[in-house]
A = this chain, B = another copy of it.
């Protein structure tokens, strides 16, 4: 079966519809998706940005929120603009790495995106993450402890470095096994097609 890496940051607005869409579309395309959480902030910092470009460039940001609202409406996804934006995504990303080596990782990712962009909850609040874990993991406290362990911290740094090495500059991004990079929720279908053609 062909494989496609789905790189995302929990802070990234278009990663929300991407995370909600990717499962069914990948199943239909016969492609196996690997969820790859990483942190955009260090990559943005290397480009000279201390926050999201959507905050730096006002007209671009205004269009993004309106566009995301339209996209979510078309997909039947609830939408609430998170405040603040971007949300610090470090904790969620670390917990996701724990979960993705167990069975509940992808559900956790979708739940975090729903909480953040569907309900306007803060994902840098441990209570939000703990309540999501309460639905999914047998021992939330143990997961939170694992998420704060050195191996997981190092793992997230490594993942972020790998993303940067692949040429990733935004999220979501899709990378095929032969290194083809597709950027954005809008390129998901094309990325899946590319991956399935080369299996």
Q: Which of A's residues lie within 8 Å of B, judged by CB? A: 47, 57, 59-60, 62-63, 66-67, 70, 74, 167-170, 181-183, 186-187, 190
Chain B min CB distance to A58 (Å) = 8
Count of chain copies: 2
Task: Indicate if the CB atoms of A67 and B167 lie closer than 8 Å.
Answer: no
In the complex formed, the residue of B with least CB distance to A186 is B186
Assess whether A59 is in contact with B182, with CB atoms less than 8 Å apart.
Answer: no
A59 touches B169 (CB 8 A): yes
Contact B66 A57 (CB under 8 A): no
Residue among A47, A63, A183, A187 with the highest chain B CB neighbour number at 10 A: A63
Contact A59 B186 (CB under 8 A): no
Q: Is the CB of B63 within 8 A of A181?
A: yes
From residue A99, how far is it (CB to closest CB) to chain B in Å? 29
A169 touches B60 (CB 8 A): yes
Which residue of chain B has the shortest Cβ distance to A66 in the bound complex?
A: B181
Quick one: closest B residue to A59, CB to CB? B169
Chain B residue nearest in CB terms to A164: B59
What is the chain B residue whose CB lies nearest that of A74? B190
Query: Is the CB–CB distance between A57 and B63 below 8 Å?
Result: no
